[in-house]
Protein backbone atom coordinates (compact mmCIF):
# COMPACT_ATOMS: atom_id res chain seq x y z
CA UNK A 1 0.00 0.00 0.00
CA UNK A 2 1.28 3.47 -0.88
CA UNK A 3 2.13 5.96 1.79
CA UNK A 4 -0.43 8.73 1.95
CA UNK A 5 2.21 11.30 0.99
CA UNK A 6 2.84 9.48 -2.28
CA UNK A 7 -0.78 9.51 -3.43
CA UNK A 8 -1.99 11.85 -6.12
CA UNK A 9 -4.80 14.31 -5.38
CA UNK A 10 -7.10 12.17 -7.50
CA UNK A 11 -6.26 9.07 -5.43
CA UNK A 12 -6.79 10.99 -2.20
CA UNK A 13 -10.22 12.12 -3.42
CA UNK A 14 -11.10 8.54 -4.33
CA UNK A 15 -10.05 7.36 -0.87
CA UNK A 16 -12.13 10.07 0.78
CA UNK A 17 -15.15 9.15 -1.35
CA UNK A 18 -14.77 5.49 -0.41
CA UNK A 19 -14.53 6.40 3.27
CA UNK A 20 -17.73 8.45 3.02
CA UNK A 21 -19.50 5.52 1.35
CA UNK A 22 -18.29 3.15 4.08
CA UNK A 23 -19.61 5.44 6.82
CA UNK A 24 -22.92 5.82 4.98
CA UNK A 25 -23.29 2.05 4.62
CA UNK A 26 -22.41 1.50 8.28
CA UNK A 27 -25.14 3.94 9.28
CA UNK A 28 -27.67 2.20 7.04
CA UNK A 29 -26.68 -1.17 8.51
CA UNK A 30 -27.02 0.21 12.02
CA UNK A 31 -30.50 1.49 11.18
CA UNK A 32 -31.51 -1.95 9.95
CA UNK A 33 -30.02 -3.87 12.86
CA UNK A 34 -31.09 -1.48 15.57
CA UNK A 35 -29.43 1.04 17.81
CA UNK A 36 -27.81 -1.57 20.06
CA UNK A 37 -25.18 -2.40 17.43
CA UNK A 38 -24.73 1.08 16.05
CA UNK A 39 -21.50 2.93 16.78
CA UNK A 40 -23.40 6.10 15.86
CA UNK A 41 -26.36 5.55 18.17
CA UNK A 42 -25.30 7.61 21.17
CA UNK A 43 -23.54 10.91 20.65
CA UNK A 44 -21.00 11.62 23.34
CA UNK A 45 -22.14 13.90 26.09
CA UNK A 46 -20.19 17.09 26.61
CA UNK A 47 -18.42 17.33 29.91
CA UNK A 48 -19.11 20.35 32.02
CA UNK A 49 -16.84 21.94 34.57
CA UNK A 50 -18.23 23.12 37.85
CA UNK A 51 -17.73 26.69 39.01
CA UNK A 52 -15.27 25.44 41.62
CA UNK A 53 -13.31 23.62 38.94
CA UNK A 54 -13.13 26.74 36.80
CA UNK A 55 -11.97 28.73 39.84
CA UNK A 56 -9.17 26.20 40.48
CA UNK A 57 -8.07 26.40 36.84
CA UNK A 58 -8.02 30.21 36.97
CA UNK A 59 -6.06 30.24 40.21
CA UNK A 60 -3.50 27.80 38.83
CA UNK A 61 -3.10 29.84 35.65
CA UNK A 62 -2.65 33.05 37.63
CA UNK A 63 0.00 31.32 39.73
CA UNK A 64 1.83 30.14 36.60
CA UNK A 65 1.83 33.66 35.13
CA UNK A 66 2.99 35.13 38.43
CA UNK A 67 5.90 32.69 38.41
CA UNK A 68 6.80 33.67 34.82
CA UNK A 69 6.61 37.39 35.60
CA UNK A 70 8.73 36.96 38.72
CA UNK A 71 11.38 35.10 36.72
CA UNK A 72 11.51 37.90 34.12
CA UNK A 73 12.31 40.59 36.68
Q: Burial code of 8-39, b = ≥16 C-beta within 10 A, e = fewer? A: eeeeeeeeeeeeeeeeeeeeeebeeeeeeeee
pTM to 2 decimal places: 0.41
pLDDT of the chain, 73 residues: tens digit per residue: 558 788 898 999 998 999 999 989 888 887 887 755 555 556 677 889 999 999 999 999 999 999 999 998 8
Q: Where are the domains of the chain?
A: 4-72
Amino acid sequence: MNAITQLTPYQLRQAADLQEKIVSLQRKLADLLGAAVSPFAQPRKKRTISAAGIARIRAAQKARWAKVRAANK
